[in-house]
Structure 1
């Protein structure tokens, strides 16, 4: 494994991160992701407006955060639903704030970030249900949100990409496109890339085993909506962009999902980011590839938003 000097610098930094006053391993994982994102994401771009809302459901509310791009006040505008990663057990507004701001400005679209329920407190399908319910709410309230109901896409990273893939199998006919960033697609963790990168960088196999165990109840272990590599019906899936990282244990699982989509006839673009590691989108302080990936997703979004 030959890593670039910048990646080695980042990994050295990651080894020094300590979660402040972590109560247990779960709290430590959540705080670690927050600290990593805060320290490595770089300067946050200004956007025109950020709004926090709560979608009311029968038994709970789904928090969402709406990012309106800088210099864009014409309504209705295009919109992108964003589903965050974090092994289904971590992540939220603060971990992905820098990335989402970049995407809002680059795509000139409203970004709607879903703060779905996390495992282990809320195992599958709670988080997926939140994402589907939130997406449906956005569609139903597009006019009041100032967005064009017919110009909506969806993006997810890592675990969020797994959720986005599942959402698209259910209501993907309403999306113009989806983008999946280093997707977590299989709970078996037995691919060649998992063998190569069992102890990292960034992810490790033991952490993955524990995360999937927290997320996936035994009775759901073969559910394609939880495990995207098991999906065999992509009939609702919109044109899809998959971004993969070279030195990522999830690489082969992402390739497998890409192959399955291609074989099912999904309009597909897959890009491998050479030299990159899992989570590189949080490393904009040092990596120019972050902006490259943002630009690629923005180009893909514009291409498909023009298709009426």
Structure 2
């Protein structure tokens, strides 16, 4: 039976959510409850308020149950937050080497400017171009780039390595046809969040033409080992340990999880990886593996900026329209991407 909130139009629920976030701080604290502290960090009020609103909606896991239910759930969740940047963004479909994709071009963006090839999150099983539409629009506008969002194949219908194969094929197409897309062939980045960060990392390791920059939001980079943060934040902070197990079981056979195309952290040589901005969330089961990947990049001589948004939760890239800490984190990532592409590969000629 559908829950009450499933019968309410997402626009109505979204309006209520934004109204709650517009309340004065003391009132939001009353709704959210006492501060939450763990592992030396205090959860941001904005994140705690969002989690409290999710609990009011009813216990709902990001994953679990049937694949179809999980896909409907993430699609509905993103429909609560339909706000887009004020600057118009034009979109069009692209066949990226046989992989469907969507190209975002902000109004007034000059020809020959940088390009970001973006892979959406969702545990390789859920998520879509539409669930990450506002993320791509935000990055396009605030980083002054074109964004090619890749509609890679999902598991379990298409298990590993289908998503990684599609990610690489789409990037290779973009790198070879950047000028046709209106972009600078010398300034092509890869990026993604969570499972999309995994795919961006795989492309950074395997592409014939190395990307010029990598933007990795809380990437899932090692399915072969469970780290401390998987226990610390196993429950109660949006993405759970059980969710990650469900995603991994649907995506990749256990016997293949130590392959670099599934777990890029285990790759022996990371020295050819592009300059990187890698951001983690302090209250995220994936925090430790992302930070270990950044440390390995640094030891391999790769220029890397690691940023822990210590008071946020997994998925914050999709939450920027709620403002506050979510928008601050989104703005920092967009600024890093813009700096990395405009001052990096373009400056090197």
Q: Which runs of 5+ in 2 are unaligned?
A: 1-35, 38-42
Q: What is the aligned length?
A: 301
Query: Using the alignment, how far apart are the partners of 2:314 and 2:308 within structure 1?
Result: 12
Aligned to 1:38: 79
| SS of alignment partner, residue 90 of structure 1 | coil
| Match 1:211 to one of 228, 243, 247 | 247
Does residue 1:63 correspond to 2:100, yes or no? Answer: yes
User: What is the TM-score of this pair, normalised by structure 1?
Assistant: 0.90
Does residue 1:29 correspond to 2:70, yes or no? Answer: yes
Query: Using the alignment, how far apart are the partners of 1:222 and 1:300 within structure 2?
Result: 30
C-alpha contact 1:106 1:294 (8 A) present in aligned 2 = no
How far apart are 1:56 and its partner, in Å? 5.1
| Match 1:277 to one of 313, 318, 321 | 313
Query: Using the alignment, how far apart are the partners of 2:71 and 2:77 within structure 1?
Result: 10
Which digits, 9 at most, give the CA deviation of each residue in 1:109-137, with x for residues without a partner? 11000010011111111011101111111
Q: Which runs of 5+ in 1 are unaligned?
A: none
| SS of alignment partner, residue 304 of structure 1 | coil
How far apart are 1:43 and its partner, in Å? 4.2
C-alpha contact 1:187 1:227 (8 A) present in aligned 2 = yes
Aligned to 1:150: 186
C-alpha contact 1:81 1:135 (8 A) present in aligned 2 = yes
Aligned to 1:8: 48
Does residue 1:241 correspond to 2:277, yes or no? Answer: yes
Query: Using the alignment, how far apart are the partners of 1:45 and 1:120 within structure 2?
Result: 37
| SS of alignment partner, residue 130 of structure 2 | helix
Aligned to 2:217: 181
C-alpha contact 1:172 1:236 (8 A) present in aligned 2 = no
Query: Using the alignment, how far apart are the partners of 2:130 and 2:86 within structure 1?
Result: 14
How far apart are 1:290 and its partner, in Å? 3.4
What is the correspondence of 1:25-174 to structure 2 with a 5 Å cutoff?
A: 25-40=66-81, 42-55=83-96, 57=98, 62-72=99-109, 74-171=110-207, 173-174=209-210
C-alpha contact 2:219 2:290 (8 A) present in aligned 1 = yes
For the structure 1 residues 219 and 190, does the alpha-carbon distance in structure 2 shift closer, same or farther, using more than 3 Å as the test?
closer
Query: Using the alignment, how far apart are the partners of 1:53 and 1:250 within structure 2?
Result: 32
Please say which structure displays the higher CA radius of gyration: 2
User: What is the TM-score of this pair, normalised by structure 2?
Assistant: 0.80
Query: Using the alignment, how far apart are the partners of 1:276 and 1:188 within structure 2?
Result: 25
| SS of alignment partner, residue 236 of structure 2 | coil
Does residue 1:194 correspond to 2:230, yes or no? Answer: yes
How far apart are 1:45 and its partner, in Å? 4.2
How far apart are 1:41 and its partner, in Å? 5.8
Query: Using the alignment, how far apart are the partners of 1:29 and 1:153 within structure 2?
Result: 30
